[in-house]
């Protein structure tokens, strides 16, 4: 079983819909990251969380440390949000990241 699990693996939505992507992990972590990867392959860091909730524009990320669960929400989704969203955790005191397998999001106009 992977230490970081994401769901769903694939997600399609109509423009304007509210999107939720989930991440569960089974190890103790010092931080959780949400990353965005566009088709060209480059990765952009969206959020780094160790507790609570963060918001940036239409993106909201939450984490529940007790339940070992995080969610990424996209409000008023747009076709340009189409990408692979990756959850990654920093385990304990380690510096390297452990990645989920990603959620492929397609938003249609």
The answer to whether 97 contacts another protein (rule: CB under 8 A) is: yes
In the complex with another protein, the residue whose CB is nearer, 4 or 107, is 4
Considering the rule CB under 8 A, would residue 65 count as an interface residue with another protein?
Answer: no
Q: What is the 3-state secondary structure (H, E, C) of the chain?
A: CCCEEEECCEEEEECCCCEEEEEEECCCEEEEEEEEECCCCCEEEEEEECCEEEEECCEEEEEECCCCEEEEEECCCCHHHCEEEEEEEEECCCCCEEECCCEEEEEEC
* Residue bearing tokens 């991440």: 23
One residue of 89, 102, 105, 107 binding another protein per CB under 8 A: 102
CB of 31 to another protein, least distance (A): 7
Q: Is 44 in the site for another protein (CB under 8 A)?
A: yes
Task: Work out which of 11, 32, 35, 61 binds another protein, going by CB under 8 A.
Answer: 35
Chain contacts with another protein (rule: CB under 8 A): 2, 30-31, 33, 35, 40-45, 48, 86, 88, 90, 95-102
């Amino acid at each position: 079983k992977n230490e970081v699990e994401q769901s769903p693996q694939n997600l399609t939505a109509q423009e304007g819909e509210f999107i939720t992507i989930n991440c569960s992990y089974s190890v103790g972590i010092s931080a959780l990251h949400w990353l965005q990867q566009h088709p060209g392959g480059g990765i952009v860091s969206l959020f780094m969380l160790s507790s609570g909730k963060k918001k940036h524009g239409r993106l909201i990320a939450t984490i529940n440390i007790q339940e070992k669960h995080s969610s990424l929400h996209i409000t008023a989704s747009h076709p340009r949000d189409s990408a692979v969203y990756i959850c990654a955790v920093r385990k304990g005191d380690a510096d390297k990241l452990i990645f989920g397998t990603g959620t492929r999001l397609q938003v249609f106009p």
